């Protein structure tokens, strides 16, 4: 009786008799029946060649059908409202599954017992799973990210002390593109369980905050009015919520102002740079920003001690 881990081929090996009445390979050698040995080798070779041809034909046909199915699914996914990242993940998983099915069909067609292969795959899979538990965690994290959707392709996120634009969410890693065009691979396991800051606005607006310091003696109301006028003149600064400008701190050598404005998503970087340049120029022209830090030191003259 065959055990679950045994593999039976459609044609016996040249070392094993084809039936109970046929002599074994050792008996043929012992009896000097070399013609029978050649016949067995020839028959075994023909059977092996036939199986190889069948496997190749099935693989070519199966690959062609998988390509057609993959293209069909891709067209259906393009018409759906699913996220592009999820579409790519579904397509990848489907293609992998179809190739596994094709492999099982091929080995079954050439005579290998699929039950035996399934048992072997299960045993090997358990060993690999124990050795690659971190990768399994990354795979589960990728599935959780695709289901919960804390971010999607094109979003700018901060996670794991890293920042960049999401290029793709893979099975094991999420790929980010930094501002200087570097590629970052973040494992999905820690990413799915850690804190994520998504710069993608839910209502299409983002706030920019600029800090300015002016010299002592400057009129606070005049500085506030200058900041608000500069914001009102910029075409991409939103009127609602209204811009905000107030003095926030008295530093040892300057007065610190906080300047906050709102802009549409995608315009915040341009607004931040434009306002920073415009405000600095106007403050400098009015003499509110000194060319260098100044420090005042007061010396107290000591009185002559009595003799």
Q: How confident is the chain (307 residues) per 10-residue block, as mean pLDDT?
A: 42 48 59 63 74 84 86 80 68 79 78 59 62 72 83 86 86 86 90 85 83 88 92 90 91 89 87 91 84 58 57
Asked whether the beta carbons of 262 and 205 are under 8 A apart, the reply is yes
Helix or strand holding residue 173 (H, E): strand 173-177
Q: Tell me the whole-structure pTM to 2 decimals.
A: 0.50
What was the pLDDT predicted at 260?
93
The burial class, CB within 10 Å (0-12 / 13-18 / 19+), for 207 is: middle
What was the pLDDT predicted at 302?
63
What was the pLDDT predicted at 170?
78
What was the pLDDT predicted at 37?
61
CA distance 62 to 40: 32
Asked whether the beta carbons of 110 and 47 are under 8 A apart, the reply is no
What was the pLDDT predicted at 95?
80
**Which residues are within 8 A (CB) of 86 and not within 5 positions of it... i.e. 6 or more apart?**
146
């Amino acid at each position: 009786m065959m055990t679950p881990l045994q593999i039976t081929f459609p044609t016996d090996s040249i070392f094993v008799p084809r039936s109970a009445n046929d002599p074994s390979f050792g008996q043929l050698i012992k009896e000097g029946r070399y013609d029978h040995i050649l016949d067995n080798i020839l028959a075994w070779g023909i059977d092996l060649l036939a199986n190889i041809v069948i496997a190749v034909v099935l693989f070519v046909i199966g690959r062609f059908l998988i390509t057609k199915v993959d293209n069909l699914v891709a067209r259906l996914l393009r018409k759906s409202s699913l996220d592009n990242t999820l579409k790519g993940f579904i397509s990848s998983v489907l293609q992998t599954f179809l190739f596994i099915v094709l492999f099982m069909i091929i080995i079954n067609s050439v005579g290998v017992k699929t039950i035996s292969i399934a048992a072997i795959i299960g045993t090997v899979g358990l060993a690999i799973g124990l050795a690659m538990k971190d990768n399994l965690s990354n795979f589960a994290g990728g599935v959780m990210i695709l289901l919960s959707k804390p971010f999607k392709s094109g979003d700018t996120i901060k996670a794991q002390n890293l920042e960049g634009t999401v290029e793709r969410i893979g099975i094991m890693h999420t790929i980010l593109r930094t501002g200087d065009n570097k590629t970052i691979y973040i494992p999905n396991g820690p990413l799915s369980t850690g804190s994520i800051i998504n710069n993608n606005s839910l209502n299409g607006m983002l706030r920019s905050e600029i800090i300015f310091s002016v010299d002592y003696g400057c009129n606070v109301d005049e500085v506030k009015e200058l900041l608000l006028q500069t914001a009102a003149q910029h075409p991409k600064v939103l009127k609602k919520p209204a811009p905000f400008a107030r003095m926030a701190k008295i530093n040892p050598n300057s007065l610190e102002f906080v300047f906050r404005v709102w802009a549409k998503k995608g315009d915040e970087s341009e607004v931040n740079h434009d306002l920073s340049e415009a405000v600095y120029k106007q403050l400098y022209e009015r003499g509110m920003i000194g060319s260098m830090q100044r420090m005042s030191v007061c010396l107290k003259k000591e009185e002559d001690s009595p003799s």
